[in-house]
Structure 1
Amino acid sequence: MTYAPTRPTERTDREALRVLAADSSTQDADLLVPELRRHGFRTEHVRTGAEALRHCRKADLLLVDLDLPDRDGVELCRSIRAVCDVAIIVVTARDTELDRVLSLRAGADDYVVKPCGLAELIARIEAVMRRVRLQPSVPDDVISVGSLRIDHRTREILMDGRRIEVTRKEFDLLYLLASRPGNVFSRRQIMAQVWSDPRSKPGRTIDTHISSLRGKLGCSQWITTVRGVGFRLGLA
């Protein structure tokens, strides 16, 4: 794939825009990332879906290739959209209507087919970000649900002002459920987001962590089991 160099245009607020490119092709990334940086974007590159999932909250926009070594890009879009509202543009060589439809339904904001010109990609990035910025911005570093407060920056959980000690996985699990209170997260989603492994059977792993969290929160009604589907966070 080639990204023809272009003259840097007016940067406006690009210096503040954090772009994460998820692409298994080092050759493509080595061409794209320096060009985006030259045009003022703060751009990083990861090669796997698991890495993209771990770092998605630190980005303003993701460029996702559908052909990743550890998971399909459509599945990755769906997993990312379950935990945050970061903008997503699929950039891939796959050019079928089905891939476009599945990607957009999975949460992608736009779809670009390789090879594409750098000027077009930048224009699409700017168009997507204009749409995103028109929406209300809700910071997700601190989530408050009733008397429960979860601070992602300090990884601290407070209940009525009292600190609750949890393990790393318990924190990640509770933060995921609290990111969309009332929404049901399937076991597969939880394995993908918390354990970065959507293919493994959860067994009793999730149930054990849920049980521990219920005990520490002091009320089983904080986390509701939706039989045959998964779990959701409610109000105790």
Structure 2
Amino acid sequence: MAEQSLDRGRVLVVDDEPQLLRALRINLRARGFEVVAVDSGADALKAAARSRPDVVVLDLGLPDMDGLEVLAGLRGWTSVPVIVLSARTDSSDKVLALDAGADDYVTKPFGMEEFVARLRAAIRRGSVPAAVETPVVEAGPVTIDLAGKRVTRGGEQVRLTPTEWEILELLVRNEGRLVTQREVLTTVWGPGYVQQTNYLRVYLASLRRKLEEDPSAPRHLLTEPGMGYRFEH
């Protein structure tokens, strides 16, 4: 089992509910994942730095700090995929978490099979290899290095989450061409997410804040209303 778990990936689970923590530990290990489990935000940040997980499963309602604070702490130094796990069902909470850098949002209670599928998808997005022939694209003060999976703006590195990078890479590789909402959702999240257009609004808004000189009047990440998105350099 140990060799199999290394193949599946290392998961850091952060939740203060003992029963849920135990259930996730048992179920994920049974499916071949290596699991590191902690029950506080402070321990989560230490464990992330120490164990270098392939994906973080993060509860928002932690005893010592809000999960969004933990997410901000992680995003200060790593782009590891983060799946938020929360009992908060309001759409504004989901948007807030995604906007803060989460890659996915799962509402409690949840089905284990769907959760594991999302987990695998997050790990996959975080470890997509660069293509052999990949150009460097200039868009005003922004430089997008597709080979190095690196973005700079005015010479300063811009930190993107794995999901933000995958969206940007898809649009840049299709420069000048309309990429439909369905195409982005299917490529980045999978065919089960074709109705989740709110995901795209959140992520495009985040990318524009990071890359555009004026996010309210974008020049490079363009929206074709009701259709999709287009990248112009």
Structure 1: give runs of 5+ residues left out of the alignment.
Answer: 1-10, 137-180, 185-236
Counterpart of 2:115 in structure 1 is: 121
Distance, in Å, in 2 between the alignment partners of 1:116 and 1:36 is 14
Report the residue type matching 2:84 in the other structure. V
Query: Identity of aligned pairs, percent?
Result: 39
C-alpha contact (below 8 Å) 2:4/2:33 kept by paired residues? no
Q: Secondary structure at the match of 2:37?
A: strand
1:15 to partner: Cα distance: 3.3
Report the residue type matching 1:18 in the other structure. R
1:96 to partner: Cα distance: 0.8
Distance, in Å, in 2 between the alignment partners of 1:134 and 1:15 is 15
C-alpha contact (below 8 Å) 1:56/1:86 kept by paired residues? no
Report the residue type matching 2:125 in the other structure. R
Structure-2-length-normalised TM-score: 0.52
Distance, in Å, in 1 between the alignment partners of 2:27 and 2:7 is 14
Q: Secondary structure at the match of 1:120?
A: helix
1:98 to partner: Cα distance: 1.3
Counterpart of 1:39 in structure 2 is: 31
Q: Does 1:55 align with 2:47?
A: yes
**Cα distance, 1:183–1:131 mapped onto 2, change above 3 Å:** closer
C-alpha contact (below 8 Å) 1:109/1:128 kept by paired residues? yes
Q: Secondary structure at the match of 2:12?
A: strand
1:106 to partner: Cα distance: 1.1
1:131 to partner: Cα distance: 1.6
Equivalent of residue 84 in structure 1, options 64, 69, 78: 78
Counterpart of 1:25 in structure 2 is: 17
1:22 to partner: Cα distance: 0.4
Report the residue type matching 1:62 in the other structure. V
Q: Does 1:107 align with 2:90?
A: no
Report the residue type matching 2:10 in the other structure. R
Distance, in Å, in 1 between the alignment partners of 2:157 and 2:7 is 35
Q: Secondary structure at the match of 2:88?
A: coil
Structure-1-length-normalised TM-score: 0.51
Q: Secondary structure at the match of 1:116?
A: coil
Larger Rg: 1
- Computed over aligned residues only, the root mean square deviation of the Cα atoms, in angstroms, reads 2.6
Aligned length: 132
Structure 2: give runs of 5+ residues left out of the alignment.
Answer: 131-154, 159-233
Counterpart of 2:87 in structure 1 is: 93
Q: How does 1:107-186 map to 2 (within 5 A)?
A: 107-134=101-128, 182=156
1:85 to partner: Cα distance: 1.3
Distance, in Å, in 1 between the alignment partners of 2:40 and 2:102 is 17
1:78 to partner: Cα distance: 1.4
Q: Secondary structure at the match of 2:94?
A: helix
Q: Secondary structure at the match of 1:134?
A: coil
C-alpha contact (below 8 Å) 1:21/1:64 kept by paired residues? yes
C-alpha contact (below 8 Å) 1:75/1:106 kept by paired residues? no
C-alpha contact (below 8 Å) 2:5/2:33 kept by paired residues? no
